[in-house]
Structure 1
Amino acid sequence: MARREIFAGLPWWVKWVAVPLIVLVVFGGLITTIIGFVIGLLFKALILVALVAGLIFLVRKFTSSSSSHDGW
């Protein structure tokens, strides 16, 4: 039985309102856990990129100023 055959005789609000609400109620915790995990990973990746960029900036700044003696 195809999905179209299952929903064939039902009103539009069952397909577009009731079924998605049931899915959210049943899998809501799982969905929020996955979204939270992905957002956490993106935030940690952003922090990592910022820290590595800051480290590279500081190393280049101090190594160039110590070799040229013109400093800041």
Structure 2
Amino acid sequence: MIIDDAEPRPQRGALLGQLAREDLDLYSVEECRDRIALLEAEIARVKAAMEAKSARKSAAEALFNFGS
């Protein structure tokens, strides 16, 4: 597999920024509902990732906190 390093990697959050600037006048009511459902699913995914990271951090702190 060849990886092309000539193309820069997109910045974190760049796609979210583009999404926020998209013209919503072009969407029907049903398409807006679908968009909201997708965004809510993404929010749930991010919250789950945050919880997992927090749990790993707490476990690491408990493991390496011998003196307290």
TM-score by length of 1: 0.52
Flag structure 2 segments of 5+ consecutive residues without an equivalent: 1-24
2:34 equivalent to 1:34: yes
For the pair shown, the structure with the greater C-alpha radius of gyration is 1
Aligned residues: 44
CA distance in 2, matches of 1:70, 1:55: 21
TM-score by length of 2: 0.55
Question: Relative contact order (alpha carbons < 8 A, sep ≥ 6): 1 or 2 greater?
Answer: 2
Flag structure 1 segments of 5+ consecutive residues without an equivalent: 1-20
SS at match of 2:67: coil
Larger helix share, 1 or 2: 1
Match of 2:3 in 1: none
